[in-house]
Amino acid sequence: DLESAETWSKWGLGRGQLAAISAVVGGSAGLAFDLMTGGLSHGIGAALGALTGGGAAWFKGGSLPDLRISLTGGVKVGAGEGKSLTMGPPKNPNFPWVLLDGVLTRYRRMLDRAHGRRDTEVLEGGETGFTRDFPSERRALLGKWFGSCLKGAPNRALEPEVFETLVETLAEVERDKEA
């Protein structure tokens, strides 16, 4: 349940981890500004980007996502006319981490469950997520890509490396199950 406070406290990154990743992503954006100015900004762009990214994640990262739908003017569907409803991308920087933890937790539960069972599976809330224990390099890569996705412009250059990292993560979940 993505609207549950318990889900957001158990899954996703911790507040400090989220702030660190956001500071790295913000610093990278600021560094791009510094490079565009030819170094005349003396690293101020990188510093401001890191402070802004880290601060925003620290103060906003712990809040639940704001799920709102606004349909101004109502919905009219006629011959050749209509309104479209576009939602997203989500604004909360922890949202993709919570979503990834949910996927990995459910994947782990599927691996643990016999394929022939017919009873109802009840997901218990006692499990913590996987992303808090990711190595810092993995968190940095995924954080950079998630940040670009949250802005509505995914970094396509990172996608092969992100895909490889996610496949590696699924393999680790499988190995942990066998251990």
What pTM was estimated for this model as a whole?
0.55
Our count of domains for the chain comes to 1
pLDDT digits (tens, 9 = 90+) for 31-75: 888 888 887 888 888 888 888 888 888 777 666 454 444 455 544
Task: Tell whether 107 is covered by a domain.
Answer: yes
Per-residue pLDDT, 64: 43
Task: Tell whether 32 is covered by a domain.
Answer: yes
Task: Tell whether 110 is covered by a domain.
Answer: yes
Task: Tell whether 84 is covered by a domain.
Answer: no
In this structure, what token pair is assigned to residue 155? 């970094």
pLDDT digits (tens, 9 = 90+) for 79-131: 444 455 556 667 778 888 888 988 898 888 888 877 777 777 776 666 678 88
CA distance 155 to 149: 7
- Alpha helices by DSSP H, listed for the chain, are 5-10, 15-36, 44-60, 95-112, 136-150, 159-178
Task: Tell whether 78 is covered by a domain.
Answer: no
| Domain span at 101 | 9-63+90-115+124-178
- Can you tell me which residue has the tokens 């993709």? 96
